[in-house]
Structure 1
Amino acid sequence: MRVLIDFVVALHIIGIAALLGGFLGQMKAMKAGTARFVPGMLHGALTMLVTGVALVGLDQADDHPVNNVKIGIKLLILVVILGLVYVKRDEEKVGKGPFAAVGALTVANIFIATLWT
């Protein structure tokens, strides 16, 4: 079971990397006002959602304690990220506010995951 959980964690990290990498790759465009949500950002967020739900289930199945408040907050943040990216995915230009919000929420989710014990 541990190998499966570690594999899903690795996929979760790949999702985070796709979302954050897409954001960081568009930072220069954000300054110019031409940033857009690239498809990898949507795919990364969806990967995070699927693997995150799988991780909670696997941890519970393996009798590990799950902090439901932490998971709920992370899920709420991810739903906001997904909503912003999904709604504005086809726009040629995304405003600085929504684009910066996705980056800030992604970083917040990473810090919640790593620092909240």
Structure 2
Amino acid sequence: MNNINGLDTDLLAGYVENLGKDIVQQMLDLYIQQSVVYLKDINEAMIACSQSLWQESCHKMKGATGSVGLTSVHAKLVAIEKSTDAWDVKKTYTKELEALNLAAIDSFSAWLSEQS
């Protein structure tokens, strides 16, 4: 796996080659929209102090990040999904996750704009 700026560029290059740049842009756009929902769900789980909802919400986002090649965000979710740390610690995880997600989206967008 070629991992540049938290992206699985081998996976993404394969998508561009097989599906075309426009479809991959649509995938990114859909992920951006859906990641807002995932992060909202993770925040709601944290506010409710619900371990089961936390795990379920992290798991859903983890799957999505894997399918769009966001390796850095995926790795963070793997690390925190089953965490039983205190909720104030999970609040920190959530903030880190949000920042990592934005950075990964920016990296994906920049990488995609360089593809022909």
Instruction: Please give the range of the TM-score, normalised by the shorter of the 2 chains.
Output: 0.5 to 0.7
Runs of 4+ in 1 over 6 A off after TM superposition: none
User: Number of aligned pairs?
Assistant: 82
2:36 maps to 13
1:108 maps to 96
1:47 maps to 60
Shift of 1:76: 3.0
1:60 maps to none
Tell me the TM-score normalised to structure 1 length.
0.55
- Cα distance 1:10–1:40, how it changes in 2: closer, same or farther (>3 A)? farther
Unpaired segments of 5 or more residues in structure 1?
Answer: 27-35, 57-65, 89-96
Unpaired segments of 5 or more residues in structure 2?
Answer: 1-22, 107-116
Shift of 1:51: 0.7
Q: Identity of aligned pairs, percent?
A: 7
Once residues 63 and 53 of structure 2 are traced to their aligned partners in structure 1, the CA distance between those partners, rounded to angstroms, is: 15
Aligned partner letter, 1:110: E
Tell me the TM-score normalised to structure 2 length.
0.56
Superposed CA RMSD in Å reads: 2.5
2:78 maps to 79
Once residues 102 and 76 of structure 1 are traced to their aligned partners in structure 2, the CA distance between those partners, rounded to angstroms, is: 16
2:86 maps to 98
Once residues 43 and 75 of structure 2 are traced to their aligned partners in structure 1, the CA distance between those partners, rounded to angstroms, is: 17
Shift of 1:115: 5.1
Shift of 1:52: 0.6
Once residues 8 and 109 of structure 1 are traced to their aligned partners in structure 2, the CA distance between those partners, rounded to angstroms, is: 15
Once residues 66 and 103 of structure 2 are traced to their aligned partners in structure 1, the CA distance between those partners, rounded to angstroms, is: 20
> 1:83 is paired with a residue of what secondary structure?
coil
